[in-house]
Structure formats: structure tokens, C-alpha cells
Structure 1
Amino acid sequence: MKKIAVFGKPGSGKSTMSKALASVTGIQLYQLDSIVYKKNGEQVERKAFDEAHQNILSSDSWIIDGFGPMDSFNKRLEAADTLVYIDLPYLTSYWFVTKRLLKGLVVKPEGWPDGSSVLKGTLESYKVLRLCPKFWNDDFMRRLREKSNSKTVYIVQTVSELNDFVHKHVE
């Protein structure tokens, strides 16, 4: 477990889990939202993102949390030795996004890019959640399970599995 990709729907707990993994393993954490977005919340130029992403993938170890552009996601899945797909029920993800918004009115959410609007990000998360079934579907699960022939693949489907993941699989 040296190159770990953590991914899933918005509001699934990726940032929280990734931070815990980094703390326990000592592996550098890269939160994609901090690479995709500038401090003012605007997206960085694609070339700058691709360069930063490739530099991370080329390093000896990393934890990358997030999705990002599709081709970078696919490159990350190939480069990683460990894949952690957080596949909580949609209702749970909607609740976590809403809870992040409410908490974000007081404290910047975990993994949130500096200067980005929590309200704007929440609305975008709701929009992405509506589109998720087109991507996070049976075909994706089949492709992910195929990767388990050459990689360690974890599929986290409940909040209790999410909360216990680091304890059960790393410590």
C-alpha cells in the first residue's frame, strides 16, 4: 500500500478517510480539489493540473483523494496499487454534502480548497450527485472488480465500514 487512490461520489467521506490513511501510513496526501482549483475557487489551467498530477503519479508513494478530469482518473487507477472506492448510498451522500454545507458556514470543510465558496461547491456537489448514476454503475463496478486481479481493491459501502476502514486495513 504505497500508491493509494481514494474515490467516490461527492460527500462520501473521501477527504476524511484519506487524511486518516495519511496520518497512519505517513504517506503524502494530495487532495485533488486543491490541485484542480486556485485559491479563489477558479479551476487551474488544464496543462498545469496535468503536470502536477503526473508529478504526483511519478513519485514513490502517494494518497490521492478525489476524481478530477476523466483521463487523469483513469491514469490514477492504473498507477495505484490500492484502490478505495467509497460507494455509500445516495441518500447518505446527499446528507453528508448538506452536513458539510452547514458545518462549512462555521469551519472550512476537510479538504476544501482555500478561498472556494462552500455554497457554490455544495450546489455543484448536488449537481454531480444527480449525474453519478451514469458513471458509478454496474459497468464501473465490473471494471473495478477486474482490477482486483492486479491491485488491492476495497469497496466501502456503509458508514460503519468507512469509519472502521483505517483500523481494519492499515493499523
Structure 2
Amino acid sequence: MKKVAVIGKPANGKSTLSRKLASATGIKLYALDSILYKQNGQEVDRRSYEDAHEKLISLDEWIIEGFGPLSSMNSFNRRLEAADTIIYIELPYFITYCLVTKRLIKGLFKKPEGWPDGSSVLKGTLESYKVLKLCPRFWNDGFLKRLEELSKNKTLHVIRSTSELNSFVDKNVQ
């Protein structure tokens, strides 16, 4: 486990799991939101994002969490190809909607960890709901089959419950 891609729907615990994994392994964590957004919460231009992403995946070790911009499937696919370990968090939609709402409520009092300074929690939550509505077009059985095919020479972990999510690092990192 040297190049780890952590992917999944919004608010499914990618950031929390990735921080725990980075702490347990000593591998540096890179949150895609930190290269996708400026300090004021505005998206960077696509070329800047792609360049920063290419630099990340060329490193010897990394944990990269997040999806990236919806318009940039090329970088997403390149990250999955470069990874030796893929962690796909696929919590049920009902739980995901609850987690997005929970993040909004908590975010009214404290900025969610990993969010760029100046980012609006309300705007981010509305974007998460919008993305969730589109998710079945992407995060579906067909995607899982493609992911399994891509992962023939990699380690693939599919996490489908909060209990699996909460115990993942303890069970998978020696």
C-alpha cells in the first residue's frame, strides 16, 4: 500500500478514513479539494487542477481522497490506474443524505475539516445534494464492475457500512 485512492459519494467518510489511514501508515494525504479550490472557495482553472493532479500521482507514495471535478474524468481514471490500492466507500444513499445533512448542521458551528478557508458550508451542502442526485448515473453496478476489472492487479476494498468504515484501518493496516 503506497498509492491509495479513496473514492465515494459526498460525505461518506473519505476524509476521515484517509486521515486515519495516513496517520497509521505515515503516507502523506492529499485531499483533492485542496487542489480544486482556492482559499475563497472558488474552483481553480481546469489546467491548474490537472497539472497539480499529475504531480501528485507521479509521487512515489500518496493517499489521494476525493473525486475531483465532475468534468475531469480523465484525471479520475488516471488516479485509479496509478493507484495500487483503491478504497471505494459505497454507503447506502439514505445514510449518505443523512451524513450530508449532519455535516451541514455541524458546519454551522465549525468549518468541516479539510474544507478550504472561505468555503460556504451551505453552498457546499447544496452542491453535495446536487451531486448525490447525479450519483446513480455514475456510482452504480456498472461502475463497480469496471472498478473490479481495473483492480485485477491492485487491492480493492469496497466499504458498504459505517461499521466497516469505522474499523477499516484497524483491520487493514499492520
Bucket of the pairwise TM-score, normalised by the shorter protein: over 0.9
TM-fit CA distance, 1:11: 1.0
Q: Does 1:168 align with 2:171?
A: yes
Query: Partners in 2 of 1:26 and 1:107 — Cα distance?
Result: 27
**Count of equivalent residues:** 171
Q: TM-score, normalised by structure 1?
A: 0.98
Contact between 1:147 and 1:153, CA under 8 Å: does it hold in 2? Answer: no
Residue deviations 1:46-70, cap 9 Å, x none? 1111111111111100000000121
1:93-108 to 2 correspondences below 5 Å: 93-108=96-111
SS state of the match for residue 7, structure 1?
A: strand
Structure 2 unaligned spans of 5+: none
Query: Partners in 1 of 2:80 and 2:122 — Cα distance?
Result: 30
Q: 1:54 matched to which residue of 2?
A: 54
Q: Does 1:130 align with 2:108?
A: no
Which aligned segments of 4 or more residues in structure 1 are displaced greater than 2 angstroms? Answer: none
Letter in 2 for 1:57: I
Query: Partners in 2 of 1:64 and 1:145 — Cα distance?
Result: 19
1:63-74 to 2 correspondences below 5 Å: 63-68=63-68, 69-74=72-77
Structure 1 unaligned spans of 5+: none
Letter in 2 for 1:147: L
TM-fit CA distance, 1:148: 2.9
Q: 1:142 matched to which residue of 2?
A: 145
Aligned Cα root-mean-square deviation (Å): 0.8
Residue deviations 1:62-103, cap 9 Å, x none? 000000121111000000000000000001111111111111
